[in-house]
Structure 1
């Protein structure tokens, strides 16, 4: 089975989780977590490098031992250490880690103190009120666990977009190499850039006699062929992801693409418009009686019902039909519109690359400016900078700006929003900072009103520029905080500060609906990578997909401005 970077990262993350459950050395645990992040963010497939006879690149934090494990995983598809750790714990314990809100520390306590070994046992303990008796849990935590495990049991598995992308990209490249294939397109929720996908839908057109169906079913990542035929097939990949392939004629390709891209409410609305015109729309085309009058392209399908083409990210039946009819569809932001990135870390805090390397990587990405916003103050887990270390970094930024061409580094820091809403901002250096990012990394469980007041107070600090990952969520891992986001968005507009759309695939925070709310209220959004390594600037593409789902145009995103205009806006926030 071909191993993708996401697979290696998942193995390292599971090793770290299991080591933490066993109470291993914290430095060893952190080494595996860092390795998972570095590998997951690396822009080239490590498997391909090794298979082509190359050496592993020098990756920050990846020493001889971890490099050996990467080779082992790529070569065998397994890791002996992970297998050993799994064998030391009951099988069900690892399933507990998949329940939102249950990290390895909580799982460790539940396992060692209550002998909880399966999700079913956990559910019973929560219903019996026994979890609240554990030190550090309490009644509220028990209620949250009960809610999470009940929801976990009722949901089908969904894959983060970035994880699905690694498998999807490789499969599409494979299908395009099959003789006779004309077109290959990923449809469904993947094409609409939803933050998670349940499965993959692939459309293919090909010459008569092309073996594309047989090659698809025989793809070396296929674990099980679910169905097959002359025009469609379904398989489950070894990663668990289901993929459906449909073979369509070139003359119907646009109609099939519109139909299988969805969403279902959007396609129903299109069919309703067609009926009003005496037409019929289905996956084979647009028909007037028995005659097909459109369908080769999506544009022809939309034109037949009196509409301009609608971008896939908008197809959720949230007003896009009415906007298209009225000529009010926005010119959605594109990746090329970004001029800079306002949130990035270096190895001075919890990043994996030097200041100089991050600057060069941002320039190579086509960015004109990059804000260096290492953690500052009391966030010890991220090796937060004290005033002396921050001062040295600011001096280094000044030196680099005098030397480097084509990229300007902005001086910033990411500071904790404390429980009372004050900022853990280093004293005496605020005047040298271009950007101050406020972020929540603790006290996620505060009541809604108190959490809202906390953030509003932080935003009122005269040096506050940007609210990072506003909901604090981790997709499939941690639920968003309870907060009055509409009030925060309106306050951001009045205060003149900005909201982040964090492009890290596990965050994608703000969610799309709140991006649209920000647009409606006139609050500016910053699409940032939150890069912790040089490869993470590629994640900006996922942030742009989320921004497009939120109807954002270039003018709604602050870092589409040139540097001079950006600095004017920054000055207005302080």
Structure 2
């Protein structure tokens, strides 16, 4: 039974939670959290690395002890240390830490004073006004906890695209070994590259004697077979994800792919166009008087209703049908357009690889430039760069550039935007950089008005270049802070600043709607990975997904520019 990276990471995260609640050494706790992030973000499956004989301890941030623990999880499905800690600390307390604002000290207090172990316990205590009686909580805190518990309980549980990829690709590779299989593709929100995925819809074409359906229900990650038929089966995987497999005839393959890719709004729009021409369009084809006249390919379906082909990322019912009718769809940005990454971290602060190693990885990806934006000193990380250390890093980059002839390392930093809108390093040193990335890392709970004013005030500084992860969200973990994103976008245009599309798979910030809003307002963005390791550089594709869903073309993205033009763009005023 294959073990996925997310399952390994979940074990490390839960272990870190329980150890922190227990009061363990913070360095030990942080090591497990860092390992969880490293494993979850790795674009290669740990099980595959082990099978290939790789030494996991050579992965940045994974030492020999953690490597051995990963190997144990892959081989046995369990982490013995986690089981040991669970005997001392109730496992459900880890779930309480998913509630924003409940750190280990508060969870420990709730457990010891009110016997709160579960989300339901917490909800009951808040409703009965028991939490406000505890020291360090109060009525206001109790009210906030109650609101967040309700939001947490009501939130739709969806899987990030990175995790869905790991699950889906393993299953598809397994199904490809089926006898008589021809075509196989994952449709639905997965194909539309939505940032999170609910269920998986897999379509195949196959010979009549194909073994694909039996092989599907026999997959060793299946924990429940909900439906098993000749042309359709549905299962639930160990991850909790539901997967639907449909065998469709080749003559209907394009129609079925179009139908099951969605979205519902897009499909309704296409069907309405078909009705005006006297056609019936469904998953089986395009029909005229019960005669199938198209459906083998998606292109045929679109052509029959007078549309050019619409890329899956645009199929959301947001004007793409009208644009396709007028042959006015955008020429979406691609990975080949990207010339460099403008937000990366090194071992100077909280990254896992050196300047040199990260630069070599960027060169291998064919980049013309890469920027290192290690954190500033204020609140983000304990080892953030102060003025002295930043000047030292500038010198190190100059020396590295002297040795390079096929890639340029840009000098930058990720600055904290302070509560009053100031930046946490003086302009005198910031002027020595090629540009800056400025981000909100604390005081997330300001009102929308105050948060917006804070950011616009920071943008007034001529040393402000790119606004990093502009809403501060972490998918399934932290809600975006309140901010008027339209006002921020317009403010950036007025000041000659840019917004980032953070491609980290757990952020994907800006979201697709905000990307479209930025494009509509003439604001260019930087698609950057916020990489903390070499493998994180591969996140670029997720940022591209967001930009493409927001109708963005190469001209809308600043890191598609050659270096000379990029430098000119960075010169404000």
TM range, smaller chain:
over 0.9
What is aligned with 2:346?
346
Task: Sort the Cα spacing of 1:338 and 1:150 in 2 relative to 1 into closer, same or farther, 3 A.
Answer: same
Task: Sort the Cα spacing of 1:449 and 1:138 in 2 relative to 1 into closer, same or farther, 3 A.
Answer: farther
What is aligned with 1:22?
22
The CA distance in 2 between the partners of 1:452 and 1:324, in whole Å, is 36
- Output one character per residue of 1:160-181: Cα deviation in whole Å (capped at 9) or x when no partner: 1111110111111111222211
Task: Sort the Cα spacing of 1:407 and 1:56 in 2 relative to 1 into closer, same or farther, 3 A.
Answer: same
- Output one character per residue of 1:168-205: Cα deviation in whole Å (capped at 9) or x when no partner: 11111111222211111111111111111111111111
The CA distance in 2 between the partners of 1:305 and 1:101, in whole Å, is 52
Q: Please provide the CA RMSD for this pair.
A: 1.7
Task: Sort the Cα spacing of 1:500 and 1:131 in 2 relative to 1 into closer, same or farther, 3 A.
Answer: farther
Deviation for aligned residue 1:128: 3.2
Q: Indicate the SS of the match to 1:245.
A: strand
- For 1:407-418, what aligned pairs fall within 5 Å after superposition? 407-418=407-418
The CA distance in 2 between the partners of 1:427 and 1:550, in whole Å, is 34
What is aligned with 1:324?
324
What is aligned with 1:399?
399
| 2:530 is equivalent to residue 509 of structure 1 | no
- Output one character per residue of 1:484-532: Cα deviation in whole Å (capped at 9) or x when no partner: 1111100000101000110111100011111111111111111100000
Task: Sort the Cα spacing of 1:114 and 1:367 in 2 relative to 1 into closer, same or farther, 3 A.
Answer: farther
Deviation for aligned residue 1:273: 1.1
What is aligned with 2:538?
538
What is aligned with 1:388?
388
Q: Does the 8 Å CA contact 1:371/1:435 hold for their aligned counterparts?
A: no
What is aligned with 1:448?
448
Q: Does the 8 Å CA contact 2:379/2:442 hold for their aligned counterparts?
A: no
The CA distance in 2 between the partners of 1:267 and 1:104, in whole Å, is 47
Task: Sort the Cα spacing of 1:241 and 1:424 in 2 relative to 1 into closer, same or farther, 3 A.
Answer: same
Greater mean alpha carbon deviation, residues 417-426 or residues 535-544: 417-426
Q: Does the 8 Å CA contact 1:376/1:426 hold for their aligned counterparts?
A: no
What is aligned with 1:374?
374
- For 1:278-293, what aligned pairs fall within 5 Å after superposition? 278-293=278-293
Q: Does the 8 Å CA contact 2:228/2:234 hold for their aligned counterparts?
A: yes
What is aligned with 1:192?
192
The CA distance in 2 between the partners of 1:307 and 1:229, in whole Å, is 35
Deviation for aligned residue 1:54: 4.0
- For 1:59-208, what aligned pairs fall within 5 Å after superposition? 59-134=59-134, 137-208=137-208
Task: Sort the Cα spacing of 1:528 and 1:139 in 2 relative to 1 into closer, same or farther, 3 A.
Answer: farther
Q: Indicate the SS of the match to 1:399.
A: helix
Q: Does the 8 Å CA contact 1:386/1:426 hold for their aligned counterparts?
A: no
Task: Sort the Cα spacing of 1:100 and 1:192 in 2 relative to 1 into closer, same or farther, 3 A.
Answer: farther
Deviation for aligned residue 1:103: 4.6
What is aligned with 1:31?
31
Greater mean alpha carbon deviation, residues 288-297 or residues 35-44: 35-44
- Output one character per residue of 1:15-70: Cα deviation in whole Å (capped at 9) or x when no partner: 11221121211100111111112222333222112224443350123222111101
The CA distance in 1 between the partners of 2:330 and 2:80, in whole Å, is 52
Task: Sort the Cα spacing of 1:437 and 1:547 in 2 relative to 1 into closer, same or farther, 3 A.
Answer: same
Deviation for aligned residue 1:109: 3.9
The CA distance in 1 between the partners of 2:482 and 2:69, in whole Å, is 40
The CA distance in 1 between the partners of 2:365 and 2:333, in whole Å, is 17
- Output one character per residue of 1:444-475: Cα deviation in whole Å (capped at 9) or x when no partner: 00111111111110111110001111110111
The CA distance in 2 between the partners of 1:521 and 1:140, in whole Å, is 39
How many residues get paired? Answer: 573
Q: Does the 8 Å CA contact 2:132/2:138 hold for their aligned counterparts?
A: yes
Note the residue ranges of structure 2 that are not aligned, 5 or more in a row. Answer: none
The CA distance in 1 between the partners of 2:101 and 2:298, in whole Å, is 42
| 2:572 is equivalent to residue 569 of structure 1 | no
Q: Does the 8 Å CA contact 1:375/1:382 hold for their aligned counterparts?
A: no
The CA distance in 1 between the partners of 2:71 and 2:465, in whole Å, is 43
Greater mean alpha carbon deviation, residues 265-274 or residues 97-106: 97-106
Q: Does the 8 Å CA contact 1:349/1:383 hold for their aligned counterparts?
A: yes
Deviation for aligned residue 1:141: 4.0
Task: Sort the Cα spacing of 1:283 and 1:370 in 2 relative to 1 into closer, same or farther, 3 A.
Answer: same
The CA distance in 2 between the partners of 1:21 and 1:3, in whole Å, is 27
- For 1:232-247, what aligned pairs fall within 5 Å after superposition? 232-247=232-247
| 2:13 is equivalent to residue 13 of structure 1 | yes
Q: Does the 8 Å CA contact 2:57/2:63 hold for their aligned counterparts?
A: no
Greater mean alpha carbon deviation, residues 384-393 or residues 464-473: 384-393
